């Protein structure tokens, strides 16, 4: 079985891995930046419907969750499917951070627009509090997503610090669930996927590594 | 003899049909000629009263029977069959029965009413409705003594309403008013917008408009009206009574548990418009505050 199926599957995997490895990271940054800018332009020119602020808030927030999910999928994809996106994990994380930042800025500056009201919402509205907490957890990750910081912190401490993305992602999902009006499926699906990807990191689910011991 | 409501907004405030499709360009042009410094508070207040465009009113809707996205009703509501349409009027009335809408309309006086609409989600519009007073319909049915409340029900048609396959709320959508609220001259049964037949996404062919209450009280596509003694079960109130009160009068001093109701976003202002302060009873305090005398509006919200 493994003789007949293993080889073609393995080569398909290798082809995908080779193709994604060939993409330079700046391409991802450029795509993300132009997408973010384009959506903003659409909002400013009336192409996002009659209420562009809410639309922008939602687009940036939803895309942020999707990119965070992609980032959380990198390790399980390698462990369980043999697909290697490691090279792009930093770009994925940085793009997610900027999407969350854009989501926050649209809310704070365009939607609320008043410092006292922003603060009141953060302390009084649980779903805002949760979203804000998730954003704060991502700030040190955004600031240390560079080679200098990895060297300075050392690989082990850097990896430990970047595990903050786990609670941040869970808070992001909960933030989405909490703001829904009525019983809605989509936020529950996002949160379920996030929790599932986090569960794949549980120690007993890790495959045994033959080479060690 | 209820006094008929006369709007402080007149037909002169309604942008002529030829202009409403591109009102914003015209306003922008006018502002450019006048210069920003010359536009005083009065001019700005008037602009705040100007009705939203037909496009804004018909593409930004909450009508969960057709999807939860703001644009979903505009895309999906064409599936709703609105002709023929009948309303069952039952409960404590002298003339219960199934009324054809066309027969009702032949008895009613259609008026234009330019009302503010304030959604519980803290956005607002100004809509030039056409419709008749609910009071007149209640007189047609003959309300019996002892009827304290009016219950309303929206059509429930899974074949025509893609949204009802999901249990977002306990379908059908239901709403209710106290009898004095229902008989108030401001309370309208709308059948048109800008003189056009009301589009499906706005609640065709006939919907309630209660301008001093949050928008979800103004139930759409009504198929049943019941006069009764007890307070009706209503959709959002039974979904979460802590978040959506039976009365749901617009009140900037009583926040929704998850967000502030002190300000609102006026639809159509674009990406850089500021929020506006929300008015008590959505600006209809003089007309309706007496209905709630002696009530603690933070308890009976």
Beta bridge partners of B125: B117
Nearest CA to B205 out of B214, B193, B217, B215 is that of B193
Nearest to B167 among A53, A127, A183 (CB): A183
Average pLDDT, chain B: 89
Q: Chain B closest CA to A44's CA: distance in Å? A: 6
Classify residue B27: in a domain, yes or no: no
Is A52 close to B271, i.e. CB distance below 8 A? Answer: yes
pLDDT computed for residue B19 by the predictor = 47
Give the domain CATH number at B173: 3.90.420.10
To the nearest 10°, report the CA torsion of B283, B284, B288, B289. Answer: 30
Whole-angstrom distance between the N-terminal and C-terminal Cα of chain A?
Answer: 29
Question: What is the rounded CA–CA span in Å between residue B128 and residue B175?
Answer: 23
Interface contacts A/B by beta carbons within 8 Å: 64
Question: What is the rounded CA–CA span in Å between residue A97 and residue A104?
Answer: 11
Inter-residue contact B77 to B164 (CB < 8 Å): no
As a whole number, mean pLDDT of residues A191-200 equals: 98
Is B265 close to A51, i.e. CB distance below 8 A? Answer: yes
Question: What is the rounded CA–CA span in Å between residue B270 and residue A45?
Answer: 8
Question: What is the rounded CA–CA span in Å between residue A75 and residue A68?
Answer: 13
CA dihedral sign, ordered B173, B179, B185, B191: positive
pLDDT for residue B41 is more than 80: no
Is B270 close to A112, i.e. CB distance below 8 A? Answer: no
Is B271 close to A178, i.e. CB distance below 8 A? Answer: no
pLDDT computed for residue B10 by the predictor = 57
Is B123 close to A184, i.e. CB distance below 8 A? Answer: no
Token pair listed for A82: 């043999």
Chain CA centroid to CA B88, Å: 21
pLDDT computed for residue B1 by the predictor = 43
CA distances from A134 to A111, A127, A209 (A): 19, 11, 33
Backbone angles phi, psi at A45, to 5 degrees: -110, 20
Percent of chain B predicted with pLDDT > 70: 84
Question: Domains in chain B: how many in total?
Answer: 1
Question: What is the rounded CA–CA span in Å between residue A141 and residue B137?
Answer: 63
Token pair listed for B222: 């009504």
Grade residue A9 by pLDDT with cuts at 50, 70 and 90: low
Partner A contacted by B68 (CB < 8 A): yes
Partner A contacted by B271 (CB < 8 A): yes
The distance between the two most distant Cα atoms of chain B, rounded to a whole number of Å, is 61
Structural domain boundaries enclosing B267: 51-292
Nearest to B271 among A44, A127, A181 (CB): A44
Backbone angles phi, psi at A83, to 5 degrees: -90, 130
Is A181 close to B68, i.e. CB distance below 8 A? Answer: yes
Using one digit for the tens of pLDDT, what is the confidence trace for B122-155? 999 999 999 999 999 999 999 999 999 999 999 9
Using one digit for the tens of pLDDT, what is the confidence trace for B57-73? 999 999 999 999 999 99
Is B260 close to A121, i.e. CB distance below 8 A? Answer: yes
What is the residue extent of each domain of chain A? 2-203
Grade residue B14 by pLDDT with cuts at 50, 70 and 90: low
Beta bridge partners of B154: B222
A155-162 and A126-143 are packed helices; what angle lies between their axes, rounded to 10 degrees?
160
Neighbours of B49 (CB within 10 A): 13
Inter-residue contact B255 to B248 (CB < 8 Å): no
pLDDT for residue A202 is more than 90: yes
Residues counted in chain B: 301
pLDDT for residue B213 is more than 90: yes
Nearest to A185 among B60, B166, B275 (CB): B166
Classify residue B265: in a domain, yes or no: yes
Pairing type for strands B86-91 and B123-133 reads unpaired
Token pair listed for B274: 């500021």
Partner A contacted by B238 (CB < 8 A): no
Partner B contacted by A49 (CB < 8 A): yes
Classify residue B20: in a domain, yes or no: no
Nearest CA to B166 out of A28, A145, A183, A134 is that of A183
Q: Chain B closest CA to A99's CA: distance in Å? A: 18
pLDDT for residue A73 is more than 60: yes
By CB atoms closer than 10 A (0-12, 13-18, 19+), residue A89 is middle
Question: What is the rounded CA–CA span in Å between residue A200 and residue B280?
Answer: 52
The ipTM is: 0.84
Lowest pLDDT segment from A189-193, A195-199, A201-205: A201-205
Neighbours of A178 (CB within 10 A): 16
Classify residue B25: in a domain, yes or no: no
Is A182 close to B64, i.e. CB distance below 8 A? Answer: yes
pLDDT computed for residue A140 by the predictor = 98
pLDDT computed for residue A213 by the predictor = 43
Nearest CA to B124 out of B4, B298, B278 is that of B278
Which residues in chain A have their CB less than 8 angstroms from residue B169's CB? 182-183
Q: Chain B closest CA to A155's CA: distance in Å? A: 41
Classify residue B146: in a domain, yes or no: yes
Question: What is the rounded CA–CA span in Å between residue B259 and residue B256?
Answer: 5
Q: Chain B closest CA to A112's CA: distance in Å? A: 7
Is A181 close to B271, i.e. CB distance below 8 A? Answer: no
As a whole number, mean pLDDT of residues A162-180 equals: 97
Classify residue B14: in a domain, yes or no: no
pLDDT computed for residue B8 by the predictor = 64
Is A53 close to B265, i.e. CB distance below 8 A? Answer: yes
Q: Chain A closest CA to B164's CA: distance in Å? A: 12
pLDDT for residue A1 is more than 50: no
For an interface test with A, the pick among B271, B273, B274 (most A C-beta atoms closer than 10 Å) comes out as B271
Instruction: Please identify among residues 68-127 of chain A the ones whose CB lies closer than 8 Å to any CB of chain B.
Output: 110-113, 117, 120-121, 124-127
Question: What is the rounded CA–CA span in Å between residue B203 and residue B154?
Answer: 9
Inter-residue contact B23 to B60 (CB < 8 Å): no
CB within 8 A of A102, min separation 6: which ones?
A: A36, A60, A64
Question: What is the rounded CA–CA span in Å between residue B156 and residue B174?
Answer: 10
Grade residue A208 by pLDDT with cuts at 50, 70 and 90: confident
Instruction: Please identify among residues 150-179 of chain B the ones whose CB lies closer than 8 Å to any CB of chain A.
Output: 166-169
Beta bridge partners of A43: none
Partner B contacted by A189 (CB < 8 A): no
């Amino acid at each position: 079985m493994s003789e007949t199926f293993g080889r073609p599957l393995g080569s398909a995997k290798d082809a995908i891995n080779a193709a994604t490895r060939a993409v330079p990271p700046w391409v991802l940054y450029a795509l993300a930046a132009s997408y973010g800018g384009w959506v903003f332009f659409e909002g400013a020119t009336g192409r996002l419907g009659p209420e562009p602020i809410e639309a922008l808030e939602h687009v940036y927030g939803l895309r942020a969750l999707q990119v965070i999910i992609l980032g959380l999928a990198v390790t399980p994809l390698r462990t369980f499917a043999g697909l290697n996106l490691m090279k792009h994990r930093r770009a994925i994380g940085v793009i997610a951070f900027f999407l969350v930042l854009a989501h926050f800025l649209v809310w704070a500056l365009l939607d609320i627009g008043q410092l006292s009201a922003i603060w009141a919402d953060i302390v009084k509205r649980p779903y805002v509090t949760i979203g804000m907490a998730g954003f704060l957890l991502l700030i040190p990750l955004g600031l240390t997503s560079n080679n200098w910081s990895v060297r300075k912190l050392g690989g082990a401490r850097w990896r430990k610090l970047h595990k903050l993305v786990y609670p941040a992602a869970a808070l992001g999902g909960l933030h989405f669930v909490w703001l829904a009006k009525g019983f809605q499926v989509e936020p529950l699906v996002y949160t379920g996927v996030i929790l599932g990807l986090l569960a794949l990191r549980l120690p007993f689910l890790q495959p045994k590594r033959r080479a060690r011991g | 003899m209820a006094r008929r409501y006369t709007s402080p907004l007149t037909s002169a405030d309604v942008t002529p049909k030829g202009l409403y499709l591109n009102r914003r360009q015209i306003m922008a042009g006018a502002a450019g000629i006048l210069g920003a410094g010359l536009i005083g508070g009065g001019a700005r207040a008037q602009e705040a009263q100007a009705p939203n465009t037909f496009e804004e009113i018909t593409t930004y809707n909450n009508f969960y029977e057709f999807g939860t996205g703001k644009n979903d009703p505009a895309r999906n509501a064409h599936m709703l069959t609105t002709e023929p349409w009948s309303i069952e009027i039952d409960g404590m009335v002298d003339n219960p029965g199934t009324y054809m809408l066309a027969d009702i309309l032949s008895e009613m006086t259609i008026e234009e009413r330019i009302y503010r609409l304030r959604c519980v989600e803290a956005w607002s519009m100004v809509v030039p409705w056409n419709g008749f007073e609910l009071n007149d319909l209640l007189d047609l049915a003959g309300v019996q003594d002892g009827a304290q409340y009016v219950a309303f029900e929206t059509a429930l048609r899974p074949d025509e309403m893609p949204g009802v396959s999901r249990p977002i709320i306990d379908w059908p959508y239901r709403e209710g008013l106290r009898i004095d609220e229902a008989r108030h001259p401001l309370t309208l049964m709308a059948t048109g917008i800008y003189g056009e037949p009301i589009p499906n996404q706005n609640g065709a062919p006939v919907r309630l408009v209660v301008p001093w209450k949050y928008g979800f009280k103004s139930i759409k596509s009504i198929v049943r009206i019941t006069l009764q003694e007890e307070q009706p079960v209503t959709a959002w109130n039974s979904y979460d009574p802590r978040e959506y009160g039976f009365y749901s009068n617009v009140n900037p001093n009583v926040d929704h548990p998850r967000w502030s109701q002190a300000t609102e976003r006026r639809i159509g202002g674009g990406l850089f418009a500021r929020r506006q302060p929300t008015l008590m009873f959505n600006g209809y305090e003089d007309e309706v505050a007496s209905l709630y005398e002696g009530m603690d509006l933070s308890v009976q919200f």
